Structure 1
Amino acid sequence: MAETVTAQEESVGVDFKDDIERIEPMHWWIGFKNTELQLLVKHPNISQAEPEVAYQGVSIEKVHNADSPNYLFIDLIISEKTKPGKFNITFKFKNGDLLEQTYELRARKKQAEDFVGFDSSDAIYLITPDRFANANNGNDINTSLKEKTIDRTDDYARHGGDIEGIIQHLDYIQDMGFTAIWSCPLLTNNMPKSSYHGYAITDYYEIDPRYGDMNDYLELAEEAKKHGIKLVMDQVVNHCGSEHWWITDLPFKDWLNYQENFENKGTLITSNHRRTTNQDRYASKSDKKGMSDGWFVSTMPDLNQRNPFMAKYLIQNSIWWIETAELGGIRQDTYPYPDKTFMSNWAGAIMEEYPNFSIVGEEWSYNPLLIGYWQDGANNKDGYDSNLKSPMDFAMQRLIVEALNEEEKWDTGLVKMYEGLANDFHYASPKDVMIFPDNHDMSRIFTQLNGDINNTKAALSYMLVLPRITQIYYGTELLMNDFEKPGDHGLVRTDFPGGWSEDAINGFTGKGLSEAQKDMQSYLKIMLNYRKVSKAIHQGETVHFAPKDGVYILFRQVQDETVIHVINKNEKPVRIDLTRFDEVGLNAKKVKNIITGAEFIWGNTLKLDTKGSLVLTTKLN
C-alpha cells in the first residue's frame, strides 16, 4: 500500500527530502485511538524555524521550543480520515532558508485487538542475547561504537551473540515447549565497557548493530510467530546510558533528574533504592525524591518523566516498537523507580491502544503487599492504579528456595511455600503474576539450591503448575550455575554451550552434555510441553493442603483434568494417607506420572520412595 501511495505522490511531482539531522519517531501510523503525535526534531538552530505541513488530514496543533536551540517539539493531529502516505514537513527560517523532511504515515498491519500478549498459558524463555548464540561473526565488532573488542574469557566483555543466533535456534526453543521469548534489550548500547547487558540504552530507536539491524529484529519477530512464539521486548524508561546521543545537548534543563549536578560535574546522586516510598504513607519527601529521582547507577542518567516531552517521547517509543515488531508483550525494567504517575500513564496509554496486550514490570520486592500494589485492579488505599497487568513474583521465588533448602520444622521448610501461596488473596489477579526460578540479575536456581538436582526439579515443576505466568532463564535446562562466584552478574550470564562454532559442548544438540544435564533438559522439556496443553494449569482452580510430615501436595483442577504436584522432603521412603485429599474427588481414578508415563489408581495410600517432586495428571492421553 505504501508503494502505491508513493507512486501516486511522485506522479504529481512531490520531491522527498531528508534535510533534518534527527526526527523521532521516524514514522507513525494512522488509525490510533489517540490522534495526537509529538515529533522530536533535532537540528542545529531548528528553534528559529517555523514548521509547515500540507497533507490532508494532518495538522500542526502547536510547536514548542526547548531550552536548547537545537530542538523543536511539534504536536500533530492525525484525523480519522487521514490516508497512509508520505509528505514533507517544511521548516522555514526567518532568514529565508528552507529545510524539508520527509515523513511517512503507514497503514497498520493488523487490528489493535489482534495484538495478544502473554498470559498464564505461556512459558517465557529469557535470553541474554550476547551470551546465547553467535551466528554472524561479521557483526561482532563495530568500529563506530566505543566498545570494540570481543573476549569470551571476560565475563563482562562482549561475547558476540546476536539476533540471528536466536533465530537459528527457534526450533530448539519451540521443541522445549516455550511459547514466548523475552530478550534482554537489543537497542544500541554505545557504552565504553560492559555494554553487553543492554540496559544502558543510547538510542531508543536503533537495534545495536552488534546484534544485527532492524531487518534482523523484524525477521526474529516473524519467525518467532511462525513457531508459535511471542516476542516480548525488554524496555527501560527509568534511565538511559550516559553515552546517549542527547547527553551532549539536552533538550531541556530538566530532561534528567539531578541534571544540574551532571552538567556542573558535581556529585552524582544515585538512588537510595527505597522502593517502599511508593506506598509508605509515612515516607519523607526527601526519601521519595531519593528513590524516584536518584540515578540507578552513575553511568545511567535518570530520566525525568515529569517533563511532559520526555513522558510523551517514552510512551510513543513503546507504541512504536509494539506496532513495528507486532510485539507479544513488554517487560519493563526497574518498574518502581520512575515517577509512578507517569508509569500509570505509560501503561495506560499502551493498554488503551492494545486492550489484549501484556506488560510485566520488575518489582524486586520480597513483600507481596508491594508487589500487589503495582497490579492493575489492586484495591490500593491511595487510589493508585498502575494499569500494569503483570508484576514479577520475587516474593514467592525466594520462599520456594528457602522452603527447599531449610530443615522441616513447624514454621520452616515447605510451610513457607504453602503460606507464600496463601498470599495470593492479596493479588487482583494471581494468574497474571509472573513467577521465575532465576533471571539475569540473580544466582542461577541450581546455585541457589546448592547443587541439589531433586530440589531444582521440585522448584521448577512447582512453578510450572502454579496459577502464574512462568519465565525460565536460558540454560536452566542445562543446570547452568555460578558456583564459582555466586550472584556475579557476568558469570550468571554465561554463554549457552553450543552457541559458538568452537564450543566443544552443545546444549542444542546434546553433544558433550553430562547425563545430569541431559536428564534436566528432558525433564523440563516434558514439563513445559505438558504445561502448554494443560487447561488445568492455564485456568484451573487451585487447592493445596498444609505440608505434613515433610510432604506438600497441590492440585490444579478444571472440568475433567486434575494436575497433582507432590513435594517430598523425606530422605527415606514414606507412605502418605490419600484419604486426607478426598475432597478433590480423585478416589479410584487413574492418574499418570507426567515425567515417566507410569499409571496407577488413586487409592487410600501412596508410597513415596525418593526425595523430590512428583507430578501427576488425570489426563491420560
Structure 2
Amino acid sequence: MKTARMKVVIAFCFGLMLSASASARDFAIDHLEPASWWVGMKHSRVELMVHGNAIGPLQPRLSRPGVTVIDVQRVANPNYLFVTLEIAASASPGTFDIEFVDGDRVAARHPFRLDAREAGSAARKGFDASDAIYLITPDRFANGDPSNDSVAAMQERADRASPNGRHGGDIAGISAHLDYIAGMGFTQLWPTPLLENDQPKFSYHGYAITDLYRVDRRFGSNEDYRALSRSARAKGVGLIMDVVLNHIGSSHWWMRDLPTPDWINHGGKFAPTNHRRTTVQDPHAAPQDKADFVEGWFSPGMPDLNQRNPHLATYLIQNSLWWIEYAGLSGIREDTFGYADAEFLSAWGKAVLDEYPDFSMVGEEWSASPATVAHWQRGKVNADGHVPHMPSMMDFPVHTALRDALREAEGWDTGWIRLYEALANDYLYPDADRLVVFAENHDTTRMLANVKGDVALFKIAMAYLTTVRGTPQFFYGSEVLMEGPREREDGNIRADMPGGWAGDAKNAFTGAGLSPAERDAQDYLRRLLDWRRNTPVVQHGKLQHFAPVDGVYVYFRYDGQDTVMVALNRNAKPAPLALERFGRFIKAGSKGRDAMSGKAVALGTTLELAGDAATIISIE
C-alpha cells in the first residue's frame, strides 16, 4: 500500500514537472529586437519587438537603475509584444534580464544589453565630395574563408559555376584586401547588403533580407562586420551600409507569423509594383496608380513592407540607428528609395540626422528625370508638401546622360550635349554638389560594355567622374577592365573579382596575370584618384562648363584660388582647342600643368588635345 501511494506521489510530481516544462516552452522568447542599445542616445525611448508563442498576455518588468518600462502594446497576434523602454542618461552599461510575468510567476526571461557609445559617435562625419566610393558585391569580391561558403542550416549552397549562385566571397575576403582598396585611392566602401538572405535562390545579391539584425553567416558574423569597419577606418576608408526599407525576403521569419495583418502590403500576397515613380508627385496621377507603385511588391521573393504601420516604422528606424552605432558606419545607401511610404521616409531620415547631424545618406531613385530625383533631397520645397531629409541622391540623370553621350555619335542633340544639358538641370536640386555620380553599378551593364570595349572612352568616363561636381562612385573590377555582357545579365555583370579566389589566372590585387591594357587602366584610375585627393578644388570648387563644340566638351572647377580645366575630346584624332573662349580662366601668360603627367603645359592661343582622351590641366 505504501509503495503504491509513493508511486502515485511520484507520478503526480512528475506530471507537475512536465506541466511546468511545457509552460516554460510555451513562453519561450524567440526574438527580442533590438537586443541591445546605448546609453546617451537622443533616441532614448526604444521599442522592443518581442516574439514568442502566446506571450501576448505576459507583463514585462525589469529592475535596472535608469531603465524603465514605460509602455506595453499588444496587437492582434498574441505571439507579439511591443515593449518601450526609457533609457536615462544616468543608466550604466551592462547586461540585465527583462522578465515576462504571468500573474506572480516569471514565465520567461530574455537578456538585454546596454553599451557605452564610442567617443564622438554622435558627431561622426559622413562621406562628401572629397571622397571616392568603391561599390562591391561581397559574394563576388574575394573568398577569404572557404569554410563558410555553404552553411548546412541555410537554404542555398555555394555554386561558383552558376552566374546566379553563391560564389563564396565574404567579409574575410574584403578585410584581406583593404590595403588594395585604400591604395587605389577609394575612401569609402559600399558593399551590397551583408545581412542574412536565407532564400532558396538568388541569395547572393543580398537584397531579400531575412533577418535585419544578423549578418549572413556565409559572409561572416556581426562581429566580423564591425571589425571590418574598424579596420577600414584605420586605413582611411569609411563603411557605407546598403539599407533596404522597402521590402524583405520571402523567407523572413515574419512571413511565418506576421505581427499584424497589415505588416505586409496586400495582406502578404504578391501584387507587383507598377514602377511608376512619377505618381508620387504627379498632380494628375490616379490614386490607384500611386498606391500600386508604393504598395506593390518588387518581386514575388520580396514582400513589400507597410511602413504606415507605426510599430514597423519604429522598428525600421531603430534598426538603422542600431547598425550605425554598432558598426561605426560613415554612411547609408538606401535601396529602392521612392518605393517606400513618403511620410515614413521623411520620419526615418529626420530620425537618423537628429542622432547623427553630420552623417551621410544617399537614396536610390532610378529615374533619368532630375525633377523626380530632386523631390527626395533635403531642402527641396515640394508642391505636394513632402519634406525630405535625404542629404544625397544617386545621380541617375547624369549617369544616363554620360552613358548615352559616350555611346552615340556627336550631333546637334546627341553626344556631349547630353551631359551639358543634364548638368544644366542642377538648379532643380537643393544641393547638387552632394549628389553621388557614377557610370555603372551592380544593376547596370558595365561602362566598358556600354562603349563596346573602347578603353579610351572608358577612361574618359573615369576622368569625368573624378572631376565633375558631386561624390564619385566606382564599381569593383572595372579598374582592370572587367567588361561583362552588353545586355543586362545581373549574375554576369556581378562577376568574380580576378584574384579573389585561390587559383585565379589573373589577380587584380597583385597585378599578376593582368594584360598591359588592364594594368594601364588600373594605374590610370589610381593616379586620377590620387590627384583628386590632393586637389581640393575638384572636390568642392564651383563648376562652369562651355557648350560642346566639334566633339570637345570643356569645363572648369574653380574656387577663387585654384582652377582646373577639363577638356573631353571625343575625336579619334588630336584636335587643336582655341583658348580665347575661356578668357575668364586662362589669361595671357597663364601656365598649366598636366594632372596625369605633371608636365608643364603651354597655354597660348590654342591647346593640342589628344584624341579620344580627357585632358586635365591645373592652371597656375
TM-score of the alignment, normalized to the shorter chain, above 0.5: yes
- Aligned pair 1:243/2:251, yes or no? yes
* Aligned counterpart, 1:544: 545
Distance in 2 separating the partners of 1:359 and 1:476: 24
> What's 1:53 paired with?
62
Superposition deviation, residue 305 in structure 1:
0.3
- The counterpart of 1:233, out of the listed 236, 241, 245, is 241
2:293 aligned with 1:285 = no
What is aligned with 1:5? none
Alignment of 1:330-369 (within 5 A): 330-369=332-371
What are the within-5 Å matches in structure 2 for residues 163-202 of structure 1? 163-202=171-210
Letter in 1 for 2:284: Y
Contact 1:361 1:391 in 2 (8 A): yes
Deviates more, 1:487-496 or 1:98-107: 98-107
Matches of 1:564 and 1:104, distance apart in 2 = 55
Tell whether 2:572 aligns with 1:577: no
Q: Distance in 2 between matches of 1:507 and 1:618?
A: 34
Q: Measure the CA separation in 1 of the matches of 2:467 and 2:538.
A: 6
Counterpart amino acid of 2:331?
A: G
Secondary structure, counterpart of 1:46 in structure 2: coil
Structure 2 Cα separation of the partners of residues 133 and 409 of structure 1: 43
Give the SS at the match of 1:508: coil
Aligned to 2:565: 564
Return the offset for 1:459. 1.3
Q: Secondary structure at the match of 2:583?
A: helix
**Equivalent position to 1:454, from 451, 456, 469:** 456
Deviates more, 1:20-29 or 1:584-593: 584-593
- Structure-1 separation of matches of 2:47 and 2:439: 41
Per the alignment, residue 11 of structure 1 pairs with none
Structure 2 counterpart of 1:35, from 37, 44, 52: 44
- The residue that corresponds to 2:556 in the other structure is 555
The Cα shift of 1:586 comes to 4.5
For 2:414, the equivalent position in structure 1 comes to: 412
Aligned-residue CA RMSD (Å): 1.4
Q: Secondary structure at the match of 1:364?
A: coil
Distance 1:527 1:587, change over 3 A: farther
Task: Specify the alignment match of 2:102 in structure 1.
Answer: 93
2: CA distance, partners of 1:436 / 1:586: 33
Deviation string 1:135-174 (CA, Å, 9 cap, x unpaired) is 11111110000012x2222100000000010111011111
Q: Is the 8 A contact 1:131 1:494 kept in 2?
A: yes
Task: Say which one has the larger Rg.
Answer: 2
Alpha-carbon distance, 1:56 to partner: 1.8
Partner of 1:15: none
Give the alignment of 1:66-145 within 5 angstroms.
66-94=75-103, 96-145=105-154
Q: 1:254 aligns with which of 257, 262, 269?
A: 262
Structure 1 residue 601 displacement after superposition? 2.4
Give, as a single letter, the amino acid of the residue that structure 2 aligns with 1:196: Y
Where do 5+ consecutive residues of structure 1 fail to align? 1-17, 263-267
**One-letter identity of the residue aligned with 1:561:** D
Query: Relative to 1, partners in 2 of residues 1:157 and 1:432: Cα closer, same or farther, differing over 3 Å?
Result: same
Alignment pair present for 1:527 and 2:528: yes
Shift of 1:298: 0.6
**In 1, distance between residues paired with 2:579 and 2:603?**
8
- Looking at structure 2, the residues matched to 259 and 104 of structure 1 have their Cα atoms a distance apart, in angstroms, of 34
Q: Which amino acid aligns with 1:187?
A: L
2:480 aligned residue (461, 478, 481): 478
Task: Using the TM superposition, give the Cα deviation of residue 412 of structure 1 relative to its aligned residue in structure 2, in angstroms.
Answer: 1.6
Structure 2 partner of 1:8: none
Q: Aligned equivalents of 1:491 and 1:179: distance in 2?
A: 26
Quote the Cα distance in structure 1 between the aligned partners of 2:440 and 2:151. 32
- Is the contact made by 2:469 and 2:538 (CA closer than 8 Å) also made in structure 1? yes
Quick check: 554-563 or 427-436, which moved more?
A: 554-563
* Preserved contact between residue 99 and residue 106 of structure 2 (Cα < 8 Å): no
Deviation at 1:19, TM superposition (A): 5.8
Distance between the aligned counterparts of 1:153 and 1:42, measured in 2? 39
Task: Tell me the TM-score normalised to structure 2 length.
Answer: 0.94
Q: Secondary structure at the match of 1:48?
A: coil
Indicate how the Cα distance of structure 1 residues 559 and 25 shifts in structure 2: closer, same or farther if over 3 A, else same: same
| TM-score normalised by length of structure 1 | 0.94
Residue 381 of structure 1: CA displacement? 1.6
CA contact (8 A) 1:48 1:94 kept: no
Distance 1:602 1:553 in 2: 15
- Distance in 2 (CA, whole Å) between partners of 1:534 and 1:383 is 40
**CA 1:604–1:24 in structure 2 vs 1: closer, same or farther (change >3 Å)?**
same
Letter in 1 for 2:558: Q
- How far off its partner does 1:182 sit? 0.2
Q: How does 1:295-314 map to 2 (within 5 A)?
A: 295-314=297-316
Note the C-alpha offset of 1:596: 2.3
Extract unaligned runs of 5+ from structure 2. 1-26
Q: Which moved more, 1:320-329 or 1:55-64?
A: 55-64
2:131 and 2:471 in contact (8 A); partners too: yes
- Partner Cα separation in structure 2 for residue 273 and residue 574 of structure 1: 44
Aligned partner of 2:423 in structure 1 is 421
CA distance in 2: counterparts of 1:572 and 1:539, whole angstroms: 33
Q: Is the 8 A contact 2:28 2:52 kept in 1?
A: no
1:10 aligned partner: none
Number of residue equivalences: 594
Structure 2 Cα separation of the partners of residues 201 and 537 of structure 1: 38
Is the aligned partner of 1:161 residue 2:169?
A: yes
Q: Distance in 2 between matches of 1:324 and 1:422?
A: 41
Measure, in 2, the Cα distance between the counterparts of 1:228 and 1:62.
Answer: 43
1:386 pairs with one of 388, 398, 404: 388
The answer to whether the aligner puts 1:20 opposite 2:29 as a matched pair is yes
8 Å contact kept, 1:126–1:472: yes
Please tell me the residue identity of whatever aligns with 2:134.
Y
Query: Hey, what's the Cα distance between the residues in 2 that align with 1:542 and 1:213?
Result: 44
Is residue 123–residue 357 contact of structure 2 (8 Å, CA) maintained in 1? no
Give the letter aligned to residue 141 of structure 2: F
When structure 1 is superposed on structure 2, of 86-95 and 311-320 the one drifting more is 86-95
Q: 1:274 is matched with which residue?
A: 276
Report if aligned partners of 1:454, 1:613 keep a CA contact under 8 Å in 2: no
The aligned amino acid for 1:306 is R
Runs of 4 or more, structure 1, over 4 Å off, are none
Alignment partner of 1:258: what SS?
Answer: helix
Distance apart, 1:95 and its partner CA: 7.6
